[in-house]
Chains A and B, each alone.
Chain A
Amino acid sequence: MRQLKFFLKKEFQQILRNKLLVRLIVAVPIVQLIILPFAANYEIQNIKLCVIDNDKSEYSRKLINKFTSTNYFILTGYFSSQKEALHYLEKDKADLIIEIPKSFENDLIRESETKVFINANAINGQTAGLAVSYSNAIIRDFNNDVRIEWIQPMRINSIPTIEISSTNWFNPKMNYKYFIVPGLMVLLVTLVGFLLTTINIVKEKEDGTIEQLNVSPLKKHQFILGKLIPFWIIGLVVLTIAQIVSFILYGIVPAGSYLTIYLFAAIYLVALLGFGLFVSTLAETQQQAMFIAYFFMMIFILLGGLFAPIENMPDWAQFLTRLNPVSYFIEAIRMIILKGSGINELSKHFGIIILFALIFNTLAIYSYHKTK
């Protein structure tokens, strides 16, 4: 016990003496939570719109107005030939081109049918997809307006229509920050729990100090606990900083309880620290450790559902996310913060993360040897 206590004291002395590291542990969550939720915004606005109006009629003007009166589009060009418009697209001055045919108004009135041509710049697939679906909605709306205008005199609504009204549960205003901030909390805890632990242990290897510990009567479990406990605590401290920042900046208060979040984070950190320890037994230098850890971090984050929803991934990728502890924590923390889920609703997540903790730590203890 005395040995472990002293080992922990030494660890904290070393960590606290590393002034830059201490500052980073405090600053990283704050800076990330200030910058990323604003930058990683999927609500696409200010789509650059070009119009090729071959008709120049009342209806064509109405349609264009319909587009520009939303917040989504800004008109950057108004042309009469396709060539000029495509030139704009090439120069990245337009994201979307709408081409209105010459007989737009005539066809609409006489034949009750006409066509509009849409070109989207698909360099950024996300913007293109959204721009097309926004314009579909706008054109559908325009279509309805036209119908109503013509049908109204009849006073009898002879065409049955289904109107859709939707509500977004758990995030009524579809505020993207509510989606991204809980995910970022997981990212931060992962960064500390995994990256810092791995590098810390490998540093002992690189400095040769582990050699001195190996020839001492210090027990294996004392060494492992002595290494994991400090980062377990730091992980929870970082989580706390993240909670405070997200409350102050975004007013995010978990719908569920803080206790559930911390309980989950506590177990999650045990799993992750075990994995960090395992990676550290593979690496001989900090450079190797950094690279291995970075490789796993990238996969964990990108396959964790932080940015891209897991449901949109192909089946094989969805299968991989099930092997990723980060994805469970991201899902769980979103359920707790947005939905107010408790331990009962999260029993599956808790079960799996406990399993991860057991597997990773067994693996780590098995592969850490004092003797080669």
Chain B
Amino acid sequence: MSTIEINNIQKKYITKSNTITALDNVSFTVDQSEIFGLIGPDGSGKSTLFRILSTVLLPDSGEAKILNYDVVRNFKEIRKIIGYMPGKFSLYQDLSVEENLNFFATIFETSIEENYELISDIYKQIEPFKNRRAGKLSGGMKQKLALSCALIHNPKILLLDEPTTGVDPVSRKEFWEILNKLKLNGITIVVSTPYMDEANLCDRIALIQNGKILDIDFPKKITEKFNKDIFSITSDNMYLLLNDLRKFKDTISCFAFGDSHHLVLEKNKIELIQLEKFLSHHKNLSIKKIKPTIEDCFMQMLQNKN
């Protein structure tokens, strides 16, 4: 039995002028003690899925089960076994760190003392500020507090909607370390992120776009499936370089990735020298063959779809 089973979930938002399909026949399963990542850009339907799993939104059709409890029929049981951290910071900004934690412990019919063990690793980092108002905390500390609040009732499943968005790199790293520890405690974690680099930190990932799942696999497998050559290219005039690369006759796709451009070509189709010749008018040209990242795979899948 899988911890989470999602079958053909469909959700549409209907407004007067148009209908938006937020989730289109989404199905997948999550196993126990797994960190399952939902990777996709903003507006791809990640939050909608989280809201359905956390029983605050009803799907139009399809069913979802958490530990065999149906999210629609058995919402009461589910609310006791999940910890949900919404994408937007949603604790009481005018209450202190300790008061927030105490409040959420109480409404989940438990106390800080009872489950202190579980959150101690995280809570210790924010404990020096326990009398500070939640609204006055830094982004990283806010997320740690939110995670503490989501964990205080010892949930079996954690649903984390973009927990690291807007958090500094150091705090992000710490946050993922915490998640790995929680996983070792037997907690199943579903986490979404728009950061492709975080995909590698998950056990399995689902790439999602426009409410559709493009692929579900281990991060490694996803990059292994990439059967094309990929080059990282830089030069002094990056804008011109991008235009030139897109004009190159064998280019399948070329996108700007941070400070370099990633060029995708058919496997072993051309010699590097041909490309160098084509770009000879660029100064400080550097061409490196690289291994594909999750983001490259994601972009490729989008290309194929179109």
Contact = CB atoms under 8 A, between A and B. Distances in A.
A6 B110 CA distance: 12
B84 interface: yes
Interface in A264-302: none
B86 to A, nearest CB: 5
B94 A14 contact: yes
A208 B135 CA distance: 13
Contact of A212 (B76, B91, B93, B109): B91
Contact of B149 (A2, A10, A18, A212): A212
B90 A372 contact: no
B90 A371 contact: no
Contacts of A17: 94
B107 A209 contact: no
The contact size tier of chain B is 20 to 34
Given A3-B106, A3-B109, A371-B57, A216 B92 contact: no
A227 to B, nearest CB: 14
B108 A371 contact: no
B103 A10 contact: yes
A14 B134 CA distance: 12
Nearest to B135: A207
Given A212-B149, A215-B84, A217-B80, A2 B94 contact: no
Given A13-B95, A212-B84, A207 B107 contact: no
A216 B81 CA distance: 10
A207 B107 CA distance: 18
A10 B95 contact: yes
Nearest to B57: A372
Interface string A195-227: 000000000000111011111111000000000
B90 A207 contact: yes
B99 A215 contact: no
Nearest to A17: B94
Interface in A1-41: 2-3, 6-7, 10, 13-14, 17-18
B76 A208 contact: no
A216 B56 contact: no
Contacts of A6: 102-103, 106-107
Count chain A CB atoms within 10 A of each CB in B55, B80, B88, B103 and give the residue with the most.
Answer: B103
B116 interface: no
A217 B56 contact: no
Contacts of A213: 107
A370 interface: yes
B107 A217 contact: yes
Contacts of A18: 94
Given A3-B109, A211-B56, A216 B104 contact: yes
Interface of chain B: mostly helix, strand, loop or mixed: loop
Contact of B107 (A7, A13, A371, A372): A7
A348 B121 CA distance: 63
A218 B103 CA distance: 11
B32 to A, nearest CB: 21
A370 B106 contact: no
Given A2-B106, A208-B89, A217-B108, A371 B76 contact: no
Contacts of A212: 84, 86, 90-91, 104, 149
Contacts of A217: 76, 79-80, 107-109
B82 interface: yes
A371 B95 contact: no
Interface in A342-372: 370-372
B54 interface: yes
B143 to A, nearest CB: 14
B94 A215 contact: no
B137 interface: no
Nearest to B54: A215
B10 to A, nearest CB: 15
A217 B77 CA distance: 9
B176 interface: no
Which of A208, A209, A212, A213 has most B Cβ within 10 Å? A212
Contacts of B82: 215
B95 to A, nearest CB: 6
B94 A211 contact: no
Contacts of A218: 107
B67 interface: no
A371 B58 contact: yes
B255 interface: no
Interface in B56-84: 56-58, 75-76, 79-80, 82, 84
B74 to A, nearest CB: 12
Nearest to B100: A10
B66 to A, nearest CB: 12
B206 to A, nearest CB: 22
A209 B56 contact: no
- Which 5 A-B pairs give the minimum distances between C-beta atoms? A208-B90, A6-B106, A218-B107, A215-B84, A208-B88
Interface of B: 54-58, 75-76, 79-80, 82, 84, 86, 88-95, 99, 102-104, 106-109, 149
26 contacts: A2-B106, A3-B106, A6-B103, A13-B95, A13-B99, A207-B93, A208-B89, A209-B90, A209-B91, A209-B92, A211-B56, A211-B84, A211-B86, A211-B90, A212-B84, A212-B90, A212-B149, A215-B79, A215-B84, A216-B108, A217-B79, A370-B56, A371-B55, A371-B57, A372-B56, A372-B58
